[in-house]
Structure 1
């Protein structure tokens, strides 16, 4: 059973079906100001995260990996009125930390990590096409071998990208909306006290990857 097939107990947004939706890889054109047909975007992803583990320390960690995002059909054929719904269906990010070991971040299969791309409400917008904003609420698993634990977030990590001029927003920088600290819990003791915190997250959404890079 894949992450996409797993029964979700936590729903962070609108489900998007993957049935009949084509996988898109390197060579797929990205056109500005144009709502695309539905697709599964296989994109590179790079992030810079800060973890605070009480009694252990604070660690700045650099991740590299990929993400697979399924997009719905746009609600309008014109860019101005188009809204697109998204689901993360797979993610794998890897970082090397001297103190925490080889950290692997994947999607929490119990969560539907979902979002949307739409034009923000702006009464002062001028003429011409307006950039959209991308928002994704994500449930993650952080495997930290030297800590001897796999951590997860109960509250979603909110990933945001502003100034979106094409869908997908390949190559765009983004940030995680975290207020001071996001509690992380041990999957072996999910009702216990937090064992760590995610305190900062920045990321860059890369371009389409070749199929062999994802597989």
Structure 2
């Protein structure tokens, strides 16, 4: 689905035509602004779900993401900003109560973000770290519930202290205020059937092409 066909847009579209895929072996250089690319990266996360009438569950996930990056706005690190779109994601986690949960992108959403300089009036000399944020629309397939859940409000993934693009190996967190409502895909206008209450993640390094076959 092209970005122009998305019904929910969480940020600026980034073109993918002609943008090279980058896999394991691609160098990650601190304080450098690489050309546009599609980063094929591992990701690991720890999520907490609250399901009314069922319980609260901590689930550990592992998987991959594919992120397209724009050309940097400047060639020098100090002033450069980069726009990103999450174009593919697949993560799986095991829960005795909820079964094998699979998390993928909601195809109706444009999940988008930015890597930029945070406002810091006390920044000193030399290179300073950037901040990364991504607003994401997800599908949570929960077979033991017999439901696929989705978020109407974006999951905001953030990484601070970004010293390389992509921020491979960096820890991040989901900015969630107490609970993020999750709705049933079969009854999208109904009341939430679950909540995401906590999310931490670690952005992994480049993966081999075989992982995405």
Other-structure match for 2:108: 110
Is residue 2:181 matched to residue 1:183? yes
Shift of 1:146: 0.1
The whole-number CA distance in structure 1 between the counterparts of 2:77 and 2:194 is 41
Aligned partner (choices 23, 26, 37) of residue 25 of structure 1: 23
Shift of 1:7: 2.3
Is residue 2:148 matched to residue 1:150? yes
- Which portions of structure 1, spanning 4 or more consecutive aligned residues, are displaced by more than 2 angstroms? 3-7
Residue segments in structure 2 that go unaligned for 5+ positions in a row: none
Aligned partner (choices 197, 201, 204) of residue 202 of structure 2: 204
Q: How many residues align?
A: 213
The root-mean-square deviation of aligned C-alpha atoms, in Å, is: 1.0
Other-structure match for 1:58: 56
Shift of 1:213: 1.3
Residue segments in structure 1 that go unaligned for 5+ positions in a row: none
Alignment of 1:126-141 (within 5 A): 126-141=124-139
Q: Any idea what SS the aligned residue of 2:5 has?
A: coil
TM-score, normalised to structure 1's length? 0.98
Shift of 1:214: 1.9
Aligned partner (choices 69, 91, 94) of residue 92 of structure 2: 94
Other-structure match for 1:213: 211
The whole-number CA distance in structure 2 between the counterparts of 1:180 and 1:106 is 23
Given that 2:3 and 2:110 are in contact with CA atoms closer than 8 Å, whether structure 1 keeps it comes out as no
TM-score, normalised to structure 2's length? 0.98
